[in-house]
Structure 1
Amino acid sequence: MPFKYPDLCHRIVANTVMAVDSYYDGTPCWLWVGAFNASGYGKISLRWQRGPRKGQVRSALAHRISLEVFKNRRLTARSVAKHLCNNPVCVNPDHLVGGTQKSNVRQCVAEGRHFTPFRKAA
């Protein structure tokens, strides 16, 4: 029988390591060491708890689940979990905030991380 964690918080913490060189506001990033998707974000497998798909396995992004579990922030399908630390593998809830894709892109441009490959220089 596989090991069962007492709750989802313990499962998330067990699949992370503290970063040595990546900080935001004086707190270290929690680096996800579990599975990753093709975009480089951590993913976690969960089971549906109710509804017609009850018991079926689904895959979710680890940073979104971390924000929902630790901060009790409900994310809709249209909202995103923004990384304030600019580290896609971080699941530290103090480094995450909910928002829209528009605000996420604005943050990216404001911090100089946006890259447009085919734009001509003026």
Structure 2
Amino acid sequence: MIKTLEENIHAVIGETTEYQISEINNLLEEKQKELIKLANKGQDYEHLADEIDELRDKRQTLLVEDASLNSENERIDELIEFIRKNKFRTLEYDDKLVRKIIQNVTVYEDHFVISFKSGIEMEI
């Protein structure tokens, strides 16, 4: 059951952006080589320099996103480790566990929403 929980949590959070970053790095390398060729020939390379800047900005955005995903994955791994260590406990309210995994609970007239610290929300 814990293995299934772990797989489901990681599926919801998503995968890292490593592949996209790698593709951008390869494209940047090609564009930079083209830029050098154009500069050596004395041709206009401004449009290519703009493309390179855009790719660098996109790569930076992906790196920030990847770092955020990594921190979320670390928190999820901590939660799963906590569950593994406590899997033989009886099913009763545990304030320590609740405070460790739940950010807040919002109560509405006909339902409520549980927000977990991992960013996942569940409506009940």
* TM bucket, shorter chain: under 0.3
Task: Name the TM-score, length of structure 2 as normaliser.
Answer: 0.20
Q: Which has the higher strand share?
A: 1
Q: Which has the higher helix share?
A: 2
Give the structure with higher Rg (CA): 2
Task: Name the TM-score, length of structure 1 as normaliser.
Answer: 0.20
